[in-house]
Amino acid sequence: MEITGKTLVTMPKSVRTHIWPFILVQALFCCILLGFHWSFGREEAHLWINKFHSPFFDFFFKYITYIGGGFVAIVLLAGSLLKNLKWFGVLAVSIVGASLTTLSLKHVIFDHVMRPSAVLENQLKLVEGVVMNAYNSFPSGHTTSSFAIFCSIALIAQKKSWSLLLVIGAVLAGFSRVYLSQHFFEDVAVGSMIGTSWSILGYWTLSKINPIILPNAGLYQILTKKKRE
Protein backbone atom coordinates (compact mmCIF):
# COMPACT_ATOMS: atom_id res chain seq x y z
CA MET A 1 0.00 0.00 0.00
CA GLU A 2 3.02 2.30 0.20
CA ILE A 3 2.87 5.19 -2.23
CA THR A 4 6.28 6.41 -3.32
CA GLY A 5 7.39 9.41 -5.33
CA LYS A 6 8.04 7.01 -8.22
CA THR A 7 4.36 5.99 -8.24
CA LEU A 8 3.29 9.62 -8.63
CA VAL A 9 5.94 10.39 -11.22
CA THR A 10 4.86 7.48 -13.43
CA MET A 11 1.33 8.89 -13.58
CA PRO A 12 0.47 11.03 -16.63
CA LYS A 13 1.60 14.64 -16.21
CA SER A 14 -1.98 15.93 -16.43
CA VAL A 15 -2.98 13.75 -13.47
CA ARG A 16 0.01 14.83 -11.38
CA THR A 17 -0.71 18.48 -12.09
CA HIS A 18 -4.35 18.30 -11.04
CA ILE A 19 -4.00 16.07 -7.97
CA TRP A 20 -1.32 18.10 -6.18
CA PRO A 21 -3.79 20.53 -4.53
CA PHE A 22 -5.51 17.55 -2.92
CA ILE A 23 -2.27 15.99 -1.69
CA LEU A 24 -0.87 19.28 -0.37
CA VAL A 25 -4.02 20.16 1.60
CA GLN A 26 -4.25 16.61 2.95
CA ALA A 27 -0.60 16.77 4.06
CA LEU A 28 -1.18 20.17 5.73
CA PHE A 29 -4.27 18.77 7.48
CA CYS A 30 -2.20 15.87 8.82
CA CYS A 31 0.59 18.16 9.99
CA ILE A 32 -1.85 20.37 11.90
CA LEU A 33 -3.57 17.42 13.57
CA LEU A 34 -0.35 15.66 14.51
CA GLY A 35 1.23 18.95 15.58
CA PHE A 36 -1.55 19.50 18.12
CA HIS A 37 -1.34 15.86 19.17
CA TRP A 38 2.41 15.93 19.79
CA SER A 39 2.44 19.42 21.33
CA PHE A 40 -0.40 19.04 23.84
CA GLY A 41 -0.94 15.29 24.13
CA ARG A 42 -3.88 13.22 22.91
CA GLU A 43 -6.39 14.04 25.66
CA GLU A 44 -5.47 17.70 26.17
CA ALA A 45 -5.61 18.46 22.46
CA HIS A 46 -9.06 16.90 22.24
CA LEU A 47 -10.36 18.75 25.29
CA TRP A 48 -9.11 22.03 23.83
CA ILE A 49 -10.90 21.61 20.50
CA ASN A 50 -13.99 20.31 22.27
CA LYS A 51 -14.51 23.73 23.86
CA PHE A 52 -15.45 25.27 20.50
CA HIS A 53 -19.02 24.04 20.12
CA SER A 54 -21.98 25.99 18.74
CA PRO A 55 -25.52 25.07 17.59
CA PHE A 56 -24.59 25.72 13.94
CA PHE A 57 -21.48 23.51 13.99
CA ASP A 58 -23.29 20.85 16.01
CA PHE A 59 -25.83 20.58 13.19
CA PHE A 60 -23.26 20.94 10.39
CA PHE A 61 -20.79 18.31 11.59
CA LYS A 62 -23.53 15.93 12.75
CA TYR A 63 -24.60 15.46 9.13
CA ILE A 64 -21.45 16.05 7.10
CA THR A 65 -19.88 13.10 8.92
CA TYR A 66 -22.16 10.80 6.89
CA ILE A 67 -19.98 11.47 3.84
CA GLY A 68 -17.65 8.82 5.23
CA GLY A 69 -20.43 6.30 5.82
CA GLY A 70 -21.07 3.15 3.85
CA PHE A 71 -24.18 4.45 2.08
CA VAL A 72 -22.27 7.11 0.12
CA ALA A 73 -19.65 4.56 -0.93
CA ILE A 74 -22.30 2.11 -2.14
CA VAL A 75 -24.15 4.77 -4.14
CA LEU A 76 -20.92 5.93 -5.84
CA LEU A 77 -19.85 2.37 -6.63
CA ALA A 78 -23.25 1.53 -8.10
CA GLY A 79 -23.36 4.74 -10.14
CA SER A 80 -19.84 4.30 -11.51
CA LEU A 81 -20.56 0.66 -12.36
CA LEU A 82 -23.35 1.80 -14.66
CA LYS A 83 -21.49 4.83 -16.02
CA ASN A 84 -17.85 3.83 -16.48
CA LEU A 85 -16.10 0.59 -15.53
CA LYS A 86 -12.69 2.23 -15.21
CA TRP A 87 -14.14 4.74 -12.73
CA PHE A 88 -15.72 1.83 -10.89
CA GLY A 89 -12.38 0.03 -10.76
CA VAL A 90 -10.58 3.05 -9.28
CA LEU A 91 -13.28 3.60 -6.66
CA ALA A 92 -13.54 -0.11 -5.83
CA VAL A 93 -9.79 -0.58 -5.30
CA SER A 94 -9.59 2.63 -3.26
CA ILE A 95 -12.63 2.05 -1.05
CA VAL A 96 -12.19 -1.69 -0.52
CA GLY A 97 -8.42 -1.48 0.01
CA ALA A 98 -8.70 1.45 2.42
CA SER A 99 -11.59 -0.17 4.30
CA LEU A 100 -9.82 -3.50 4.73
CA THR A 101 -6.66 -1.75 5.92
CA THR A 102 -8.57 0.33 8.45
CA LEU A 103 -10.68 -2.57 9.70
CA SER A 104 -7.56 -4.69 10.20
CA LEU A 105 -5.91 -1.93 12.21
CA LYS A 106 -9.04 -1.13 14.23
CA HIS A 107 -10.12 -4.66 15.08
CA VAL A 108 -6.87 -6.64 15.11
CA ILE A 109 -3.78 -4.56 15.86
CA PHE A 110 -5.25 -1.59 17.75
CA ASP A 111 -8.49 -3.15 19.02
CA HIS A 112 -7.68 -2.00 22.57
CA VAL A 113 -7.59 1.73 21.72
CA MET A 114 -10.54 3.54 23.27
CA ARG A 115 -12.39 6.56 21.88
CA PRO A 116 -12.63 10.04 23.43
CA SER A 117 -16.04 9.44 25.00
CA ALA A 118 -14.65 6.43 26.88
CA VAL A 119 -11.30 8.00 27.82
CA LEU A 120 -12.57 11.44 28.85
CA GLU A 121 -16.08 10.39 29.93
CA ASN A 122 -18.01 13.32 31.50
CA GLN A 123 -15.50 16.02 30.48
CA LEU A 124 -16.83 16.40 26.93
CA LYS A 125 -19.43 18.52 25.20
CA LEU A 126 -21.41 16.11 23.06
CA VAL A 127 -23.83 16.66 20.17
CA GLU A 128 -27.38 15.57 20.88
CA GLY A 129 -28.56 12.61 18.85
CA VAL A 130 -25.10 11.25 18.05
CA VAL A 131 -24.57 7.66 19.20
CA MET A 132 -21.19 7.52 20.90
CA ASN A 133 -18.82 4.60 20.39
CA ALA A 134 -16.30 3.54 23.01
CA TYR A 135 -13.81 1.22 21.29
CA ASN A 136 -11.83 0.72 18.04
CA SER A 137 -10.72 4.32 17.81
CA PHE A 138 -7.55 4.01 15.68
CA PRO A 139 -7.71 4.86 12.82
CA SER A 140 -10.90 6.68 11.83
CA GLY A 141 -12.94 4.65 9.34
CA HIS A 142 -15.13 7.57 8.26
CA THR A 143 -12.06 9.69 7.54
CA THR A 144 -10.41 6.88 5.59
CA SER A 145 -13.51 6.43 3.47
CA SER A 146 -13.98 10.17 2.88
CA PHE A 147 -10.42 10.66 1.64
CA ALA A 148 -10.50 7.46 -0.43
CA ILE A 149 -13.72 8.55 -2.16
CA PHE A 150 -12.86 12.21 -2.71
CA CYS A 151 -9.26 11.61 -3.79
CA SER A 152 -10.47 8.99 -6.29
CA ILE A 153 -12.98 11.45 -7.75
CA ALA A 154 -10.26 14.12 -7.95
CA LEU A 155 -8.01 11.72 -9.85
CA ILE A 156 -10.82 10.81 -12.24
CA ALA A 157 -11.95 14.42 -12.79
CA GLN A 158 -8.41 15.80 -13.35
CA LYS A 159 -9.41 19.40 -12.58
CA LYS A 160 -7.58 21.56 -10.05
CA SER A 161 -10.77 23.30 -8.93
CA TRP A 162 -12.44 19.94 -8.28
CA SER A 163 -9.36 18.68 -6.47
CA LEU A 164 -9.42 21.65 -4.10
CA LEU A 165 -13.17 21.46 -3.43
CA LEU A 166 -13.02 17.70 -2.90
CA VAL A 167 -10.16 17.84 -0.41
CA ILE A 168 -12.00 20.54 1.55
CA GLY A 169 -14.99 18.20 1.73
CA ALA A 170 -12.79 15.33 2.90
CA VAL A 171 -11.13 17.53 5.53
CA LEU A 172 -14.50 18.66 6.88
CA ALA A 173 -15.74 15.07 7.05
CA GLY A 174 -12.55 14.03 8.82
CA PHE A 175 -12.64 16.91 11.28
CA SER A 176 -16.27 16.09 12.07
CA ARG A 177 -15.04 12.90 13.73
CA VAL A 178 -12.99 14.99 16.17
CA TYR A 179 -15.75 17.57 16.67
CA LEU A 180 -18.26 14.82 17.48
CA SER A 181 -15.73 13.22 19.88
CA GLN A 182 -15.75 9.96 17.96
CA HIS A 183 -11.99 10.09 17.37
CA PHE A 184 -8.75 11.70 18.49
CA PHE A 185 -6.57 13.81 16.19
CA GLU A 186 -4.16 10.96 15.43
CA ASP A 187 -7.03 8.66 14.36
CA VAL A 188 -8.17 11.17 11.76
CA ALA A 189 -4.66 12.01 10.52
CA VAL A 190 -3.78 8.37 9.86
CA GLY A 191 -7.20 7.72 8.31
CA SER A 192 -6.61 10.51 5.80
CA MET A 193 -3.22 9.02 4.90
CA ILE A 194 -4.67 5.57 4.32
CA GLY A 195 -7.57 6.83 2.20
CA THR A 196 -5.40 9.07 0.02
CA SER A 197 -2.72 6.41 -0.43
CA TRP A 198 -5.19 3.77 -1.57
CA SER A 199 -6.79 6.19 -4.03
CA ILE A 200 -3.48 6.95 -5.68
CA LEU A 201 -2.55 3.27 -5.72
CA GLY A 202 -5.95 2.34 -7.17
CA TYR A 203 -5.75 4.92 -9.93
CA TRP A 204 -2.14 4.07 -10.77
CA THR A 205 -2.91 0.32 -10.89
CA LEU A 206 -6.03 0.71 -13.02
CA SER A 207 -4.25 3.06 -15.44
CA LYS A 208 -1.93 0.16 -16.30
CA ILE A 209 -4.73 -2.26 -17.14
CA ASN A 210 -5.67 -2.81 -20.76
CA PRO A 211 -8.82 -0.82 -21.67
CA ILE A 212 -10.34 -4.00 -23.10
CA ILE A 213 -10.49 -5.40 -19.56
CA LEU A 214 -11.89 -2.21 -18.03
CA PRO A 215 -13.32 -0.05 -20.83
CA ASN A 216 -14.32 3.61 -20.50
CA ALA A 217 -17.95 2.56 -20.61
CA GLY A 218 -20.49 1.46 -18.05
CA LEU A 219 -22.60 -1.65 -17.81
CA TYR A 220 -25.64 0.26 -19.03
CA GLN A 221 -23.88 1.35 -22.24
CA ILE A 222 -22.37 -2.09 -22.82
CA LEU A 223 -25.65 -3.93 -22.31
CA THR A 224 -27.70 -1.56 -24.45
CA LYS A 225 -25.09 -1.77 -27.22
CA LYS A 226 -25.26 -5.58 -27.18
CA LYS A 227 -29.04 -5.43 -27.23
CA ARG A 228 -29.00 -3.26 -30.36
CA GLU A 229 -26.61 -5.67 -32.05
Arithmetic mean of pLDDT, 2-27? 68
How many residues does the structure list for the chain?
229
Please say if the pLDDT value at position 170 is more than 70.
yes
Number of CB atoms found within 10 A of residue 76's CB: 18
Q: How high is the mean pLDDT of the chain?
A: 87
Other CB atoms within a 10 A radius of the CB of residue 87 amount to 22
pLDDT band at 18 (very low <50, low <70, confident <90, very high): confident
Percent of the chain with pLDDT over 90: 69
Q: What is the pLDDT averaged over residues 155-174?
A: 93
d(CA 149, CA 74): 11
Distance CA 106, CA 69 (A): 16
Model confidence at 7, pLDDT cuts 50, 70, 90, reads very low
Q: Model's pTM, two decimal places?
A: 0.88
| 163/154 Cα distance (integer angstroms) | 5
Name the band, by pLDDT with cuts 50, 70 and 90, for residue 212.
low
Least confident of 83-87, 103-107, 192-196: 83-87
Q: Which residues contact 48 (CB under 8 A, 6 or more apart)?
A: 36, 40
Look at residue 89 in the predicted model and tell me its pLDDT. 87
CA atoms within 13 A on the CB side of 219: 8
**Considering only 38-47, 65-74, 83-92, 136-145, which range has the smallest mean pLDDT?**
83-92
Provide the pLDDT for residue 8. 42
Neighbours of 34 (CB within 10 A): 16
Q: In 182-201, which positions are buried (b, 16+ CB within 10 angstroms) versus exposed (e)?
A: bbbbbbbbbbbbbbbbbbbb
* Domains, the chain: 11-222 (1.20.144)
Q: Shortest CA distance to 191 belongs to which of 141, 118, 229, 226?
A: 141
Lowest mean pLDDT among 2-16, 31-45, 91-105, 134-148: 2-16
Q: Check whether 6 has a pLDDT greater than 50.
A: no
